[in-house]
Structure 1
Amino acid sequence: MVDDAELHIDKLAYAVALLEGAKRIHSSAPGEVISRIGIPFYLLIGFSIENGLKALLQFQGQHQRDVQRSHDLAGLLAITEGLRERLWPGAAKDVEHLSRYHKEYWFRYPESAATADVFKAESACMMVDHLLAHIAHLMATEKSSAI
């Protein structure tokens, strides 16, 4: 059984695993347009971002039920402490752009699907890699400064 104090680590590991799944989908169709792989790819990308943000929020002491149940990527990013400032220019806007599609389940249920204006798979993977790396770095530096 995992200690509650370490749940954020499992959540971040889950975010990384979801990103790895998206990368495998992308690598299975090299050069294909995003419309060919978009539904499963962006489903995993959205949940990777969500779990990464929730891992950081949990680490930072944000355990409220509404935070843990939220699928609003923009809202989750907005309440993190210190993450937005560390991201490369445009990364926060990229997360905010994907937020509507994720929050409204565009890639999760066919009745919610519509044509989404999304990024190329390579760009999305680079952005999420960058985001998760900074989340891990924040968690590591905040933990070591608390010791």
Structure 2
Amino acid sequence: MTENAGIHIDKLIYAIALLDGAKRIHSSATGADISRIGIPFYLLIGFSIENGLKALLEFQGQHQRELQRSHDLANLLAKTDGLCERLWPGTVKDVEHLSRYHKEYWFRYPERAATADVYKAESACMMVDHLLVQVAHLIGYRG
């Protein structure tokens, strides 16, 4: 077994932890408008999706070095084998929609985040949770 053999599992676990952080932010302000929690919430949502997709791509044989600097969620999703077909209708479009904000760092810098057109926190959490469950199934993780 190579040194990097389990890195995709670690990356998936990290993605799950990031989603958990987003859920905690949401639960701390239940019913609040997304403008109140959006910046930290969507920062975590974007990185959760990114790490989940990279976990799958690494499992599927993509080189870690090639993926390392990519924050383009739409491109990462398009490179996966078998994931899009497993996702709920509309999920691919949702990830593609968030991709621009994530790759252009809208949630890292406040001057851009104020104009992002995003979904309600509940919807985002459900979508990312579903995506990560499907990634886990494809890589055989039963954690």
TM-score range, shorter chain: over 0.9
* Structure 1 residue identity aligned to 2:58: Q
CA contact (8 A) 1:87 1:131 kept: yes
Q: TM-score, normalised by structure 1?
A: 0.91
CA contact (8 A) 1:9 1:55 kept: yes
Partner in structure 2 of residue 119 of structure 1: 119
Matches within 5 A, 1:91-106: 91-106=91-106
CA contact (8 A) 2:71 2:102 kept: yes
Secondary structure of the residue that 2:78 maps to in structure 1? helix
Partner in structure 1 of residue 84 of structure 2: 84
- Give yes or no for the alignment of 1:133 onto 2:133: yes
Shift of 1:31: 0.4
The answer for unaligned runs of 5 or more in structure 2 is: none
Q: How far apart in 1 are the matches of 2:83 and 2:100?
A: 20
* Structure 1 residue identity aligned to 2:132: L
Q: How far apart in 2 are the matches of 1:24 and 1:114?
A: 21
Secondary structure of the residue that 1:118 maps to in structure 2? coil
Q: TM-score, normalised by structure 2?
A: 0.93
Partner in structure 2 of residue 62 of structure 1: 62
Partner in structure 2 of residue 144 of structure 1: none
Q: How far apart in 1 are the matches of 2:64 and 2:54?
A: 11
* Structure 2 residue identity aligned to 1:39: I
Partner in structure 2 of residue 12 of structure 1: 12
The answer for unaligned runs of 5 or more in structure 1 is: 142-147
CA contact (8 A) 2:49 2:128 kept: yes
Instruction: Report the RMSD for the aligned CA atoms in angstroms.
Output: 1.5
Q: How far apart in 2 are the matches of 1:31 and 1:110?
A: 22
Q: How far apart in 1 are the matches of 2:59 and 2:46?
A: 20
* Structure 1 residue identity aligned to 2:102: H
Q: How far apart in 2 are the matches of 1:22 and 1:62?
A: 28
CA contact (8 A) 1:8 1:56 kept: yes
Secondary structure of the residue that 1:5 maps to in structure 2? coil
Q: How far apart in 2 are the matches of 1:124 and 1:3?
A: 34
Shift of 1:65: 2.6
Q: As a proportion of its length, which structure holds more helix?
A: 1
Structure 1, residues 66-89: CA drift from partner, whole Å, max 9, x if none?
322100000000000000011010
